[in-house]
Amino acid sequence: MEILRSTKSHPTADWIYDQARKVLPSISLGTVYRNLAILKEDGQIMELSYGSTYSRYDGNPENHYHFVCLKCGRVEDVDIPVRGELEREVEKTGVGDVYYHRLEFYGLCAHCRSSRTDKPGGAGEDSR
């Protein structure tokens, strides 16, 4: 939980595992997954699963939106207000009861946009 709260990077289970080993050298990946599942169940964290094969985790359990860079894979928080009114609008269509919604934006991050000088090995911070 401390590791997850200490970063803004929406890390993968593997990255969290690496960080955890720095302080608990003998911890196993299974324990990381087990505790992430418990924290998620308890509503303290969020699991983000996009098209990728792996999940990312978010220490902020409040609903907020994300920007995913199509080039480097970075996931960043988007600083616009949550549109609660959309949920009511959807309910009016009669499709069912809406409990929550999820919104993601995809594109080219500011970091990748500026470094047009495609230097190799640029796969982002703790992407993998």
Residues in touch with Mn ion (CB under 5 A) = 58, 77
List own/partner pairs for 80-87 with CB under 8 A and 24 or more apart.
Answer: none
Closest distance between DNA and the C-beta of residue 12, in Å? 6
Nearer to Mn ion, 28 or 104 (CB): 104
Closest distance between Zn ion and the C-beta of residue 77, in Å? 15
Closest distance between Zn ion and the C-beta of residue 62, in Å? 25
CA distance 115 to 112: 5
Contact 107, 76 (CB under 8 A): no
Rule CB under 8 A: which residues touch its own copies?
A: 47, 49-51, 65, 67, 69-70, 76, 78-80, 83, 86-87, 89-90, 93-113
Q: What's the sign of the alpha-carbon dihedral 90, 99, 6, 52?
A: negative
Binding mask 105-124 for Zn ion (x = CB under 5 A): ----x--x------------
Closest distance between DNA and the C-beta of residue 5, in Å? 17
Contact 20, 13 (CB under 8 A): no
Q: Helix 29-41 and helix 13-23: axis angle, to 10°?
A: 110
CA distance 108 to 103: 17
Q: Is 37 in the site for DNA (CB under 7 A)?
A: yes
Report the interface residues with DNA, using CB under 7 A: 12-14, 24, 26-31, 33-35, 37, 49, 53-55, 128
